[in-house]
């Protein structure tokens, strides 16, 4: 029997709750073979912490809001090299759900003032706080790209959260994503999927305050960009950030794992695509992000 099943059965017996990792497209099964419903807290259940000082262990966590293939692994590696900052691989904490297994468990938590969303927020906060504490640093930065789809809930969970938006030329994002997913999708399908992340990032930028940086600037002048980020975070800049290599293990599926990122040094940027190389689907977002000066045919992305 898998250890996860043993742990969850023990949790269910003793607490009436179990923790599940709600992976998109995953099919969990009960011992009887039935597929249980993976819980998703309704929007009306999502609310700020009732007692911020006791409900949250983290203070002012930082989230990178970015599309896929935008250089977020590079940026988080540079930040992780700072003596005060811990920026681990993608955490995906928003995919952790808390599921009541009995009505009595749900009722008990309600008597304590918790709904499912509250309990999930406590779990997310505890996981990230533990990770930060184990590394003995003062500030945690999470760079999970899918956080762009959950910016509102992240802000609600941590009202003092800070945000850094990382942009890259949309055509470069799409080309890189097409290469990374070439065994799964056609270039057109990869472009469409990458556009979802770009739109999510843009929605977050329109609704949150934060610092916007560009991949092209980061790779051409990492010193200036990291200085600006440190100023935004209220920490001193450190030279060691520019030499982030130190034997870190890069894991496939939890960020970039290619040769360039494993080199431990910032690589010079590629040239920007010409305007006529920008796919039609990406022209509106390219215009809004300043990578296209004018396009009369650009409609809504």
Does the pLDDT at position 25 exceed 50?
Answer: no
Residue 6 lies in a domain: no
Residue 15 phi, psi (nearest 5)? -125, -15
For the chain, how many structural domains are there in total? 1
Q: Is residue 171 part of a domain?
A: yes
The radius of gyration of the chain's CA atoms, rounded to the nearest angstrom, is: 21
The average confidence (pLDDT) of the chain is 84
Q: Please check the confidence at residue 32 and state whether its pLDDT lies above 50.
A: no
In a domain, 45, yes or no: no
Q: What is the pLDDT of residues 74-100, one digit of tens each?
A: 999 999 999 999 999 889 999 899 988
Neighbours of 251 (CB within 10 A): 10
Confidence at residue 180, expressed as pLDDT on a 0 to 100 scale? 86
Mean pLDDT of 114-118: 95
Q: What is the DSSP string of 211-237?
A: EEEEHHHHHH-HHHHHHHHHHHHT---
Domain holding 274, by residue range, is: 58-288
- Establish if 25 belongs to a structural domain: no
pTM of the model: 0.81
pLDDT band for 39, please (50, 70, 90 cuts). low
Mean pLDDT of 287-295: 87
Domain-located, residue 295: no
Q: Of 290, 266, 74, nearest to 170 (Cα)?
A: 290
Query: Is residue 148 situated within a structural domain?
Result: yes
Q: What band does 43 get if pLDDT is binned at 50, 70 and 90?
A: confident
Indicate which CATH number applies to the domain containing 268. Answer: 3.40.50.300
Task: Return the percent helix, strand and coil in the chain, to nearest 5.
Answer: 50, 10, 45
Q: Is 49 contained in some domain?
A: no
Does residue 8 belong to any structural domain of this protein?
A: no
Q: How confident is the model at residue 251 (pLDDT cuts 50, 70, 90)?
A: low
């Amino acid at each position: 029997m898998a250890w996860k099943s043993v742990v969850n059965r023990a949790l269910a017996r003793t607490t009436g709750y179990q923790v599940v990792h709600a992976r998109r497209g995953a099919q969990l099964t009960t011992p009887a073979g039935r597929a249980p419903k993976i819980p998703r807290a309704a929007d009306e259940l999502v609310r700020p912490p009732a007692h911020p000082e006791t409900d949250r262990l983290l203070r002012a966590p930082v989230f990178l809001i970015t599309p896929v293939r935008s250089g977020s692994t590079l940026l988080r590696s540079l930040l992780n090299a700072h003596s005060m900052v811990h920026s681990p691989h993608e955490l995906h904490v928003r995919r952790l759900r808390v599921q009541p297994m009995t009505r009595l468990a749900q009722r008990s938590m309600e008597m304590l003032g918790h709904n499912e969303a509250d309990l999930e927020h406590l779990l997310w906060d505890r996981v990230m706080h533990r990770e930060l504490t184990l590394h003995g640093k003062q500030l945690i930065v999470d760079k999970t790209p899918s956080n762009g789809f959950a910016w509102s809930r992240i802000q609600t969970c941590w009202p003092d959260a800070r945000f850094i938006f990382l942009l890259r030329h949309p055509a470069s994002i799409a080309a890189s994503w097409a290469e990374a997913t070439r065994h799964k999708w056609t270039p057109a399908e990869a472009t469409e999927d990458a556009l979802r992340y770009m739109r999510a990032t843009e929605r977050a930028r329109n609704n949150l305050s934060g610092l916007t940086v560009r991949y092209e600037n980061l790779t051409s002048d990492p010193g200036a960009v990291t200085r600006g980020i440190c100023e935004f975070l209220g920490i001193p800049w450190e030279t060691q950030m520019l030499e982030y290599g130190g034997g870190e293990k890069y894991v496939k599926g939890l960020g970039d794992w290619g040769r360039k990122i494993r080199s431990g040094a910032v690589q010079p940027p590629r040239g920007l695509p010409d305007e006529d190389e920008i796919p039609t689907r990406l022209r509106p977002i390219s215009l809004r992000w300043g990578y296209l000066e004018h396009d009369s045919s650009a409609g809504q992305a």
